[in-house]
Structures are given as C-alpha cells and as structure tokens.
C-alpha cells in the first residue's frame, strides 16, 4: 500500500478568509462547515478571481482533491472549483483542527450544445462542463473560471448573476464554475440551463439574459 492516497471532496460552508502557506503568499482559503474548519489550497489560476470576489461570511461550495498521508495521518486539500452557495443552516463555532473529508463520487460530465442565433450567443463547438452528481434536476448556470475568462471579468459576471437571481427570488438556480469552454478569447463565457451559451458577456447585460431565460409570469387581469 502506498504512502499517499487521493480522492475527491466537496465541501459547503462559510468563507472565513485567506491564509498564508509557508511564507507570506495567501494560498489557502479558510472554510467553516458543519464538521469544523478546513484550509484548502487554491490553485494559482483561481487566486486572482477569488481575491477580488470572495467576502468573509459568504457561503461557498468548494470541490477538489484531497491527499492523505497514511504515515503521518494528515490530509491536504486542493480546490479545483469554488462557487457561490446558498446558506441553509447555522454553523457551529469552527474547530481548531480540520477533520478528514468524506470523499464524494467523481464528478459527472455533461456535454453542452449551444442553441439559438442571438447576437450575444456563441455559435461554437460544444464545451464539456464539470457538474456534481445529484444536481441534474436543478437549474444551473455555468460560468467559465479559467484564467483568461477571469481576466476578462468572469468574477464581475458571477456577482451580477448572484444579484439578479436574488432580486427575482430564484434561489433554486445555481451558479457553477467550470473548466475551459474552448472559447478563451471570447470570454467571459456562460451557459444557461437550456444550453444557450453567451460569450463576451458583460455584467450590465446579465439582467437581460436572466429575464430572457427566467421570465416573470404576467399577472392575470381580474
């Protein structure tokens, strides 16, 4: 049996802030969950976006890989995705030492085909987006979180989506970050639940896109 074992994890909780690892660089995020506090290493390509967008106290969902040292009995966590989440219960005071993380099933993959011919929609090749199992029946908006899209404003688009969904009471609609959608030069990129893809989306355009895909039912005249 090898010294190290690897598995996937998924955690949800309250973001507490960033922490340094072996020096002054803030490479870790601190997360308070129902089972205690965890420190998760952030990959280099995600750090600029998370530094700008994460606010202590907000709820997030973190998924990635955990590395268990069977000799030392230590676990190291590394994130591959960090997305906003909806608070659903109170958390206890964070524990001083993190416990081991329960592995989850490998993430499923869902092919997304672009549809429609609107000016802001992309007529591009189909991307492959990473989704957690068990979310298939939930409306999900996918936003590319690769570094090129982040540099082009993906973080601001995510914030705008959060705001518009909250204003409309669409708390059951999830926002999820994905890997590369193969349209880096046309970022930021997002895919709506009906598989319509939008490229070069700007924060000020988000409201119109949400209205289009989640129309408010007209009041019936009495």
Dmax over CA atoms of the chain, in Å, equals: 73
77, 66 contact by CB (below 8 A): yes
Among 30-34, 41-45, 97-101, the least confident range: 97-101
pLDDT at 179: 74
Average pLDDT, the chain: 72
Taking residues 140-165, report their average pLDDT: 81
Burial class (CB in 10 A: 0-12, 13-18, 19+), 32: buried
In angstroms, the CA 207 to CA 211 distance is 6
Confidence bin at 63 (pLDDT 50/70/90):
very high
Closest CA to 122 of 210, 212, 188, 204: 188
Task: Quick: pLDDT tens for 73-82.
Answer: 778 899 999 9
pLDDT of residue 112 exceeding 50? no
* Domains present along the chain, CATH in parentheses: 4-84 (2.40.50.140), 108-213 (3.40.30.10)
pLDDT of residue 2 exceeding 80? no
pLDDT at 88: 59
Task: Quick: pLDDT tens for 8-25.
Answer: 889 999 999 888 877 678
Confidence bin at 111 (pLDDT 50/70/90):
very low
pLDDT of residue 83 exceeding 70? yes
pLDDT at 120: 42
**Both structure tokens of 206:** 């988000």
Whole-model pTM?
Answer: 0.42
Closest CA to 176 of 136, 207, 216, 212: 136
């Amino acid at each position: 049996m090898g010294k190290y074992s690897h598995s996937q994890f998924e955690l949800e909780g309250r973001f507490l802030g960033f922490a340094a690892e072996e020096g002054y660089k803030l490479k870790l995020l601190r997360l308070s969950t129902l089972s205690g506090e965890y420190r998760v290493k952030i990959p280099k390509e995600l750090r600029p976006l998370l530094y700008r967008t994460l606010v202590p106290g907000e709820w997030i969902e973190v998924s990635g890989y955990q590395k268990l040292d069977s000799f030392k009995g230590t676990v190291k966590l590394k994130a591959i995705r960090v997305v906003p989440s909806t608070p659903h219960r109170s958390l206890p005071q964070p524990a001083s030492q993190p416990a081991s993380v329960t592995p989850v099933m490998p993430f499923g993959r869902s092919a997304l085909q672009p549809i429609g011919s609107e000016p802001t929609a992309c007529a591009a090749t189909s991307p492959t987006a990473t989704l957690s199992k068990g979310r298939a029946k939930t409306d999900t908006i996918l936003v590319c979180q690769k570094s090129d899209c982040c540099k082009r404003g993906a973080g601001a688009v995510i914030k705008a989506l959060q705001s518009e969904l909250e204003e409309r009471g669409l708390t059951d609609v999830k926002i999820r970050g994905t890997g590369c959608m193969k349209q880096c030069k046309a970022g930021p990129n997002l895919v709506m639940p009906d598989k319509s893809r939008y490229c070069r989306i700007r924060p000020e355009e988000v409201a119109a896109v949400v209205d289009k895909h989640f129309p408010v039912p007209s009041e019936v005249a009495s």
